[in-house]
Structure 1
Amino acid sequence: MGILSSSLSLTRYRVFQKIPDDFWAEIPDRLKKHKFKDIDQTADERSFGWTSFDDMLDTNWSLASPHKGHYLAFALRLDTRRIPPAVMKKHLRLALDQARMELESKGQKFVSRDQKKEIRENVQLKLFARILPIPAVFDVIWDTSAGTVYFGSTSPKARELFQDLFTNTFELHLEPRNPYFQAAAKTDPDRKKQLDEMEPAIFI
């Protein structure tokens, strides 16, 4: 669900580094450098990158700027091809049967492990070329005045992908705004060790 939806899941982050004033003018170029690249006409398994908050097909921000007052709004798009297990099993079986027939005609009695691996990779590549990728879009809102970044997902894999791409794009690091980091930010440095040594308690 997008950030403009009536309900959604969010992960909050804090940018804890000091950002120079001229950095904000670089945002469009930085986003375009790491923009999403379409894989519909390829056999690639997945592609990811930034795209417009307003239109996931607008990877050049032609319709709307990512700047929204003191906010930045853009999105992470991830396209993934998935081969249903039953489809893979069927076509792998057909390819292996064909390979056995061809090898037997040459006097080879069985398909070697390396040959099986190569056959599997070829089958996977052919199926990827026939399957359209499934798009997923995760909204990003960056409150530049507060240094807070909102990411429209709580999925661990999506969060990891977002954090890595954010760092590569902006050369900045994100700190999750979970209860631990919230407490650590307001705790005296001398008492932080106590926070690190706390263990969860079960009350049932």
Structure 2
Amino acid sequence: MTLGALRGKLTFSRFFVLGAPPDNLAGTSMKRIRAAASQPLVPEDDENERHGWCSIEDPMDVDLDHEKVFFNEYVCLGLRVDRWVVPKPLLQAHLRDAEAAMLERKGLERLGKKARADLKLFVLKKLRRQLIPVTKSTDLVWNTGTGMARFFSQSPRVHLLVQDLFEKTFRLKLVPESPGTAAERRQLDARAEKRWEALEPTSLARPGGAE
């Protein structure tokens, strides 16, 4: 499933990049982009989810290079999230069978907490070999000239993933667009900034709701 600039829904969230990128952005960041490329989940992994960068054109393409990422003043990447989704009824059924077999084999009446947790992980990994991870990618388009970035998701959880990965990759902070970041981007003069700081939030909702 892909959500983004080239396909899917056109719903996006606006972000602002704090700080100016280096003159040679491609040269200084390409190695870190490649290092942060998404790596596929395998059944033997303990983790249930993994995320990283992918091509904005193809979420399965994680062999990133300059031509796939940098387009004039734009940086275009996909945030790919891979996650194991094992249906709960399937897991419970296999776990019951595995637990019963282990109790019979060891001559026990019940398993301890740790033994049951280890058995659950074993069953999960076994079931994963019969499945493929669910993959979802979300596009990020960053205009390095204006500092504005569009991320084609409104999920707070996914926002945190892309903000953390962006900062590790580019050494710059990606912050949600707000009146404050808009004011900073416009570089208000001292008089306008003083007026801005004196503003107070105002609610436009009527007390008790609309009549």
TM-score higher than 0.5: yes
Quote the Cα distance in structure 1 between the aligned partners of 2:139 and 2:196. Answer: 36
**Could you say if the C-alpha distance between residues 39 and 110 of structure 1 is closer, same or farther in structure 2, counting changes exceeding 3 Å?**
closer
Q: Is the 8 A contact 1:3 1:139 kept in 2?
A: yes
**AA paired with 2:131?**
I
| TM-score of the pair, normalised by structure 1 | 0.83
Query: Which ranges in structure 1 are unaligned for 5 or more consecutive residues?
Result: none
Match of 2:14 in 1: 12
Question: What is aligned with 1:170?
Answer: 170
Partner of 1:154: 154
Letter in 1 for 2:16: R
Q: How does 1:1-204 map to 2 (within 5 A)?
A: 1-5=3-7, 7-40=9-42, 42-43=44-45, 45-61=48-64, 64-104=67-107, 108-179=108-179, 181-182=181-182, 188-189=193-194, 192=197, 194-195=199-200, 201-202=205-206, 203-204=209-210
- Could you tell me whether the CA contact under 8 Å between 2:30 and 2:65 is conserved in 1? no
Relative to structure 1, the CA distance from residue 119 to residue 146 in structure 2 (aligned partners, 3 Å threshold; closer, same or farther) is: same
Separation (CA, whole Å) in 2 of partners of 1:94 and 1:193: 66
User: Are residues 55 and 114 of structure 1, via their aligned partners in 2, closer, same or farther at CA, if it must alter by over 3 Å?
Assistant: closer
Task: Name the Cα RMSD after superposition.
Answer: 2.7
Paired-residue identity, %: 23
**Cα distance in 1, alignment partners of residues 147 and 179 from structure 2:** 17
Q: CA 1:62–1:180 in structure 2 vs 1: closer, same or farther (change >3 Å)?
A: closer
1:130 aligned counterpart, secondary structure: coil
SS of residue paired to 2:142? strand
Q: Displacement, 1:101?
A: 1.2
- Note closer, same or farther for the CA distance 1:33–1:6 as it changes in structure 2 (3 Å cut): closer
Answer yes or no: is the 8 Å Cα contact 1:15–1:147 preserved in 2: yes
Shift in Å at residue 128 of structure 1? 2.4
Q: Deviations over 1:99-120 (max 9, x none)?
A: 221232xxx3332222222222
Partner of 2:167: helix, strand, or coil? Answer: helix
CA distance in 2, matches of 1:56, 1:90: 33
| Structure 1 pair 56–109 and aligned structure 2 pair: CA distance change class (3 A) | closer
Gaps of at least 5 residues in structure 2 are none
TM-score (norm 2): 0.81
Amino acid at match of 2:59: M
The count of corresponding residues between Structure 1 and Structure 2 is 200
Give the residue type in structure 2 aligned to 1:48.
H
Amino acid corresponding to residue 143 of structure 1 in structure 2 = N
